[in-house]
A and B are shown apart, each in its own frame.
Chain A
Amino acid sequence: MKKQYYLILFLVLLMVPIYWMLNMSFKPNSEILQQLTFYPHEFTLKNYQEILSSEFWRSGYINSISMALMNVTFVTITALPAAYAFSRWNFRGDKHLFFWFLTNRMAPPAAFMVPFFILYSNFNLIDTYWAVALAHCLFNLPLAIWILEGFMSGIPKEIDEMAFLDGHSFPSFVWNIFLPLITPGIAVTAFFTFMFSWVELLLARTLTNEAAQPITVTLTRSLGAGGWDWGVLAAAGVLAMVPGAIIVYLVRDLLATGFSMGRV
Chain B
Amino acid sequence: MGIRVENLQKSYGTEEVLTGLDLDIPDGTFFSVVAPTGAGKTTLLRIMAGIESADGGTVYYDGRDMSTVAVQDRSVGMVYQEFVNYPSLTVRENLASPLEVSDKNYSRDEINQRVEETAKMLKIDHILNNLPEEVSGGEAQRTAISRALIKEPDYLFMDEPLANLDYKLREQLRSDFERLFSEQDTTVIYATPQAGDALAMSTHIGYLHEGKLIQDAPRDEIYFRPRSLPVAEYLGEPPMNLVTGTLVEDATERYFELRDGTRITAGSATGAFPALDAGHDYQIGFRPQDMVYLNGQDAAQAHGEDTVLNMDLAFVETVGSTSTLHLDYDGRELYALNAGPVHASPGAALSFSLDPEKLYIYDAESGDLIAAGNKIPSFTQK
Please report A residues at the B interface, Cβ cutoff 8 Å.
156, 158-159, 161-169, 172, 176-177, 180-181
Contacts and interface: CB of A to CB of B under 8 A. Distances in A.
A160 B71 CA distance: 12
A160 to B, nearest CB: 9
Interface string B56-91: 000000000000001110001110101011111100
B175 interface: no
A166 B98 contact: yes
Contacts of B86: 159, 162-163, 177, 181
B84 A166 contact: no
A172 B72 CA distance: 11
B287 interface: no
A158 B80 CA distance: 8
Contacts of A180: 88-89
A28 B317 CA distance: 90
A173 B235 CA distance: 40
Given A165-B49, A177-B97, 16 more contacts: A163-B97, A164-B70, A164-B71, A165-B71, A165-B77, A166-B77, A166-B97, A166-B98, A166-B101, A167-B98, A167-B101, A168-B101, A177-B86, A180-B88, A181-B87, A181-B88
Interface residues of B, number: 24
A181 B89 CA distance: 10
A97 to B, nearest CB: 21
A86 B264 CA distance: 64
Interface centre among A156, A164, A172, A177 (most CB of B within 10 A): A164
A169 B72 contact: yes
21 contacts: A156-B84, A158-B80, A159-B86, A159-B87, A161-B51, A161-B71, A162-B84, A162-B86, A163-B97, A164-B71, A165-B49, A165-B51, A165-B78, A166-B98, A166-B101, A166-B151, A167-B103, A167-B151, A168-B101, A177-B86, A177-B88
Contacts of B151: 166-167
Contacts of B87: 159, 181
A190 B34 CA distance: 48
A167 B102 contact: yes
Contacts of A169: 72, 101
A258 to B, nearest CB: 15
B98 A158 contact: no
Q: Which 3 A-B pairs have the closest CB atoms?
A: A166-B98, A180-B88, A158-B84
B92 interface: no
Contacts of A168: 72, 97, 101
Interface in B219-236: none
Contacts of A161: 51, 71, 78
Given A166-B97, A166-B151, A158 B76 contact: no
Contacts of A163: 86, 97
B105 to A, nearest CB: 12
A162 B78 contact: yes
B212 interface: no
B55 to A, nearest CB: 15
Contacts of A162: 78, 80, 84-86, 147
A169 B70 CA distance: 10
A163 B101 CA distance: 10
A136 B103 CA distance: 43
Nearest to B150: A166
Interface string B39-62: 000000000010100000000000
B51 A164 contact: yes
A168 B102 CA distance: 8
Given A161-B78, A172-B101, A166 B88 contact: no
A166 B70 CA distance: 12
Contacts of A164: 51, 70-72
Contact of B82 (A158, A165, A167, A181): A158
A166 to B, nearest CB: 4
Contacts of B49: 165
Contacts of B77: 165-166
A79 to B, nearest CB: 21
Contacts of B82: 156, 158
Contacts of B85: 162
B317 to A, nearest CB: 36
A168 B77 CA distance: 12
Nearest to B104: A167
A169 B72 CA distance: 7
Contact of B84 (A159, A167, A172, A176): A159
A149 B102 CA distance: 30
Contacts of B101: 166-169, 172
A114 to B, nearest CB: 46
Contact of A176 (B71, B80, B97, B147): B97
A158 to B, nearest CB: 4
Contacts of A181: 86-88
Contacts of A172: 101
Contacts of B102: 167
A24 B84 CA distance: 57
A182 to B, nearest CB: 10
B103 to A, nearest CB: 8
Nearest to B51: A161
B88 A165 contact: no
Nearest to A183: B88
Interface string B91-122: 00000011001110000000000000000000
Nearest to A170: B72
Contacts of B51: 161, 164-165
